[in-house]
Structure 1
Amino acid sequence: MDDQFELIRSFIVVAQKLSFVEAADGLQIDPSALSRRIRRLEKRLGVRLFNRNTRRVALTEAGVLYLSHCQEVLAKLDQADAIVSHLSTEPRGLLRVTLPVVFGQRHIAPALSEFLNRYPQIDLDLSFTDRFVDVLEESIDVAIRVGQLQDSRLIVRKLASNRRVLCSSPFYLQKYGSPQTPKELEQHSCLNFSRLATGNIWHFSHQSQRIAIPIKGRLRADNAEALYQAVLGGCGIALLATYLVGDALKTGQLSTVLDDWKVPTTDVFAVLGVGQYTPSKTQVFVDFLVERFRDPPDWDVSW
């Protein structure tokens, strides 16, 4: 039975990654060993689960059907594990967490030694990425997300507010001038986050007035730290979270722009998968983060 579950879990990882190399890396085994597992499973079932060549891997019709049933079975097993672990007085086990790169590195990673010392039976597996991670499909215990949430099926805990400001370096503003209205941003180099839900449109409000401005610039990136370094270097004006630029604003390395105009505020959330029971390891981790961000953090105060 243990062998069967090992084969099934290996199959699911390959089906999710559609890459034997990436799946083997995630499972920490040799790709050739993983291939043997899949061939053994296919032989047991009497069907081919993958079509594969040197360039791509794809599920067969049988593979798609088998994947849906396997995920359902493993979800039941995870629920059973959660029910049992919930009875444990000491949280334990491997906790898989995904975090946005900058927020995770700056505001969560420094606290993890305290968490690990507090809960010596919990191991952490962290993935720092700005891509959208499906907590259900990728078997993630907790996902830290910044912005608007779409999936109402998930369990959500708010950690902090995510206030954003327009900012630029004094060098840039001295050279090109400071815009006095959002419309004037069209004449400036605006550095944009390429994963922004609104694309190259920035939204502003002032009292009852609402305006959307299409922006353009010589740099866009899918990493906020890269934009932060660029705006420090005088490359333009950026719309960035205060948890990233707060210190630079306090020291004068950056200055805010269009202070009378507000941009939409979002939040930082801890997102958990769906289930009747939340494992104690997951619960204590989220409670730890809520406790850490209970008081208004330094980045959220006015300068």
Structure 2
Amino acid sequence: MLIPWITAFQRRNPELFVNLTLTLGPMHIIPPECDIRINHGLYPCSNAVIRKLGEMRRMMVASAGYLAKHGVPKTPEDLEFHELLGGNDLVNGAPLVLLKDNERVIVPIHSKLRLKDHTAARTAALFDAGISVHAFRYDTMELVRRKLLIHVLPDWEPEPSPVSLLLPIGRKPSSAVEALCDFIAEKWRSNPELVFDHGL
């Protein structure tokens, strides 16, 4: 999602050079050479000004082959009998939190295959390894439409993942940095699978 946005921004600003580093897991400080960090999750960052973008909605998906062999869950409680494939925030034993209107259900996870990345978990689901429980809707719905994956318990949605833009404290952002932040916020707002923070 991010790389096409940056590419589009560079087409508008052909004189701009971008050094992009992708990381997995929490970073609690912004490196000195970094102008913008896009933070996924609730990890604190001590030397940053935070601009909230919003939240990434999640969904649960599995392959037809896995569900044919292990059964289709009818309730959140049924998930305890399935192989659940999560992301980085579930790998250390945190439970799965599911939401439906005003209801909230907590499901423990006892996975044999522990993955630190939601994309890897979704890929494992494609190969019948279990139910990916933290798949992001923005890049998973197309796989569901193509019938490569099946939306599991569609009335229930895993807790969304908050996303923020972080800018270094004590350094005035350049006009290019401000313009890129505004451009990312504009792209975020226009994506129907993302929840925009209207306080931005």
- Band the TM-score falls in, shorter-chain normalisation: 0.7 to 0.9
Which residue is equivalent to 1:275?
Answer: 170
Q: Are 1:221 and 2:115 an aligned pair?
A: yes
Pair member with larger Rg: 1
Deviation at 1:160, TM superposition (A): 4.7
Structure 1 partner of 2:3:
109
Note the aligned Cα RMSD (angstroms): 2.5
Instruction: Please name the residue that 1:231 is paired with.
Output: 125
Q: Is the 8 A contact 2:85 2:130 kept in 1?
A: yes
Deviation at 1:130, TM superposition (A): 1.3
Normalised to the residue count of structure 2, the TM-score between the two structures is: 0.83
AA of the residue aligned to 2:20? L
2:116 is matched by which residue type in structure 1? Answer: D
Matches within 5 A, 1:182-261: 182-196=76-90, 199-239=93-133, 240-261=135-156
Identity %: 28
Q: Equivalent residue of 1:284, what SS?
A: helix
Which residue of the other structure, out of 165, 175, 182, is the alignment partner of 2:69? 175
Alpha-carbon distance in structure 1 between the residues aligned to 2:29 and 2:183: 20
Report Cα offsets for 1:206-239 as digits up to 9, x if no partner: 4544332111222111222211111111111111
Give the C-alpha shift of residue 152 in structure 1: 7.5
Cα gap change, 1:292 to 1:209, in 2 (>3 Å) = closer
Q: Is the Cα–Cα contact under 8 Å of residues 135 and 272 in structure 1 kept in the other structure?
A: no
CA distance in 2, matches of 1:205, 1:117: 40
Q: CA deviation at 1:242?
A: 0.9
Aligned residue number for residue 36 of structure 2: 142
What is the number of residues matched between the two proteins? 194
**Residue 178 and residue 255 in structure 1: after superposition, are their counterparts in 2 closer, same or farther (change >3 A)?**
same
Query: CA offset at residue 143 of structure 1?
Result: 0.9
Contact 2:86–2:118, Cα closer than 8 Å, also in 1 = no
How far apart in 2 are the matches of 1:197 and 1:237? 15
Cα distance, 1:130–1:246 mapped onto 2, change above 3 Å: same
Higher relative CO (CA 8 A, sep ≥ 6), structure 1 or 2?
2
What's the secondary structure of 2:20's corresponding residue?
strand
Moved beyond 4 Å, runs of 4+: none
Question: Structure 2 CA distance, aligned partners of 1:179 and 1:108?
Answer: 33
Which protein is richer in helix relative to its size?
Answer: 1
Match of 2:181 among 248, 263, 286: 286
Segments of 5+ residues of structure 1 without an aligned counterpart are 1-106
Contact 1:135–1:141, Cα closer than 8 Å, also in 2: no
Q: Give the distance between the partners of 1:280 and 1:207, measured in 2 at CA.
A: 42
Judge conservation of contact 1:192–1:219 (CA < 8 Å) in 2.
no
Shift of 1:162: 0.4
Distance 1:287 1:207 in 2: 32
Which structure 2 segments of 5+ residues have no match? 196-200
TM value normalised by structure 1:
0.57
